[in-house]
């Protein structure tokens, strides 16, 4: 059964974004998929349209600038598409001590992880109001909650998304627009991350999930209007530990982690 409404997903051609696109298509949700140019979006679109009988509009665009966010909005309007669910997934990770990170990379990361989702929500807010009950899903991270060595800027951008989502949720409640944030732990979303995830500590390894399983929980959470979605029992256990451990114990754990990381390569 096809509906007239569309769900827009940014960063949809691979990794977690692709997994959410597949999950939405399985639920017969029409899609606007946005990804960087030449990342295989057209192939994904073909497969989803053929297998799940959904309408898909694919748009290849770098969302790292406000000009491009504006032109994405214009393109969607031109297609006369009505957005009911908006999923802000595009985002980049950095790993390294702050003193070693490239300044331009830091600024680009803040722009893509913070400015882009904020501007896109602002642009599409009227659509969401008109199609209420509707929903926004922002992709945070477990790094939204924790102070993590070598992930200070990334964690900061994800903490912004958590705080922004919670506040906006309260503001948009009268308009019947639900705002959710999903905070996954480590996922095997690429060959590089899968390799890297094999080298982490036992506790973290236990928490690693497949993007397909996280996507199912994330879309369930979006459709049910859940405020904060923490996928997986191990991640939920980490949250519990974080709330009960005394600060000196947490500081000690982080100090040990920093010492372990000192010898590692930048962006490892
Ligand atoms: N992997 C993890 O362990 C993990 C854990 C927690 C949270 N997350 C979050 O989940 C989201 C997806 O992560 P991932 O691991 O699947 O992806 P990834 O491999 O880190 O790739 C980054 C994602 O952002 C998109 N992207 C990057 N630069 C872009 C730009 N300039 N314009 C538009 N899109 C851009 C890419 O989309 P296209 O290639 O399709 O264009 C890709 O989907 C991110 O927000 C990430 O922070 C990931």
Residue nearest to atom 21 of ligand 1 (CA): 92
- What's residue 261's pLDDT? 64
Beta partners for residue 81, in sequence order = none
What's the pLDDT tens digit per position in 207-249?
A: 999 999 999 999 999 999 999 999 999 999 999 999 999 999 9
Residue 245, phi then psi, degrees to nearest 5:
-70, 140
Which of 42, 65, 91 to mutate for ligand 1's pocket (most ligand atoms within 8 Å of CB)?
A: 91
Which CATH number do you get for residue 105?
A: 3.40.50.720
Does any domain span residue 192? yes
Say how far apart CA 203 and CA 186 lie, in whole Å: 11
Residue 26 CA, chain-centre distance (Å), reads: 19
Residue 115 Cβ < 6 Å to ligand 1: no
Q: Any idea which residue has 């993590």 for tokens?
A: 148
Helix axes 103-110, 152-172, angle to 10 degrees: 20
Tell the burial category of 27 from Cβ atoms under 10 Å away from its Cβ (0-12, 13-18, 19+).
middle
Does any domain span residue 222? yes
Residue 39 Cβ < 6 Å to ligand 1: yes
Q: DSSP H helical segments within the chain, as ranges?
A: 15-26, 41-52, 66-78, 103-110, 116-130, 152-172, 191-197, 202-207, 211-224, 233-244, 247-261
Which of 8, 16, 211 to mutate for ligand 1's pocket (most ligand atoms within 8 Å of CB)?
A: 16
What's the pLDDT tens digit per position in 144-201?
A: 999 888 999 999 999 999 999 999 999 999 999 999 999 999 999 998 888 888 887 7
Total structural domains within the chain: 1
Does any domain span residue 208? yes
Does any domain span residue 266? no
The token duo for 78 is: 């031109």
Residue 64 Cβ < 6 Å to ligand 1: yes
**Mean pLDDT of the residues in the chain:** 93
Q: What does pTM read for this prediction?
A: 0.94
Report whether 249 contacts 199 (CB < 8 A): no
Look up the domain containing 148 and give its range: 6-261
Picking from 72, 92, 93, 91, the residue whose alpha carbon sits closest to that of residue 83 is 72
What b/e readout covers 141-174, taking b as 16+ CB neighbours within 10 angstroms? Answer: bbbbbbebbbbbbbbbbbbbbbebbeebbeebee
Q: Any idea which residue has 């769900």 for tokens?
A: 7
Say how far apart CA 6 and CA 32 lie, in whole Å: 7
Confidence band for 267, pLDDT divided at 50, 70 and 90: very low
Picking from 84, 3, 14, the residue whose alpha carbon sits closest to that of residue 44 is 14
Does any domain span residue 13? yes
Residue 265 has pLDDT above 70, yes or no: no
User: Do you know the residue count of the chain?
Assistant: 268
Does any domain span residue 229? yes
Does any domain span residue 268? no
Quick one: which atom of ligand 1 is closest to the CA of 14? 40
Percent of the chain exceeding pLDDT 70 equals 96
Does any domain span residue 106? yes
């Amino acid at each position: 059964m096809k509906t007239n409404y569309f769900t827009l997903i940014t960063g949809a051609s691979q990794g977690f974004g692709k997994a959410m696109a597949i999950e939405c298509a399985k639920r017969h949700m029409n899609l606007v998929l946005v990804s960087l140019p030449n990342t295989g979006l057209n192939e994904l679109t073909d497969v989803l349209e053929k297998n799940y009988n959904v309408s898909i509009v694919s748009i290849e665009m770098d969302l790292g600038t406000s000009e491009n966010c504006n032109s994405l909005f214009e393109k969607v309007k031109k297609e006369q598409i009505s957005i009911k669910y908006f999923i802000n997934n595009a985002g980049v990770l950095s790993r390294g001590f702050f003193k070693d990170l490239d300044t331009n990379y830091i600024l680009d990361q803040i722009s893509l992880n913070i400015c882009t989702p904020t501007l896109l929500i602002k642009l599409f807010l009227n659509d969401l109001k008109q199609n209420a009950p509707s929903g926004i899903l922002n992709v945070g991270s477990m790094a939204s909650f924790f102070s993590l060595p070598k992930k200070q800027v990334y964690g900061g951008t994800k903490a912004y998304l958590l705080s922004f989502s919670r506040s906006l949720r309260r503001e948009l409640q009268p308009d019947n627009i639900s705002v959710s944030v999903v905070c996954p732990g480590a996922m095997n979303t690429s060959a590089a991350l899968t390799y890297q995830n094999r080298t982490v500590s036992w506790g973290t390894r236990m928490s690693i999930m497949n993007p397909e399983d996280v996507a199912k929980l994330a879309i369930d959470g979006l459709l049910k209007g859940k405020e904060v979605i923490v996928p997986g029992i191990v991640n939920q256990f980490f949250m519990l530990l974080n709330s009960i451990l005394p600060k000196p114990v947490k500081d000690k754990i982080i100090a040990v982690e920093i010492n372990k990381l000192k010898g590692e390569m930048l962006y490892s």
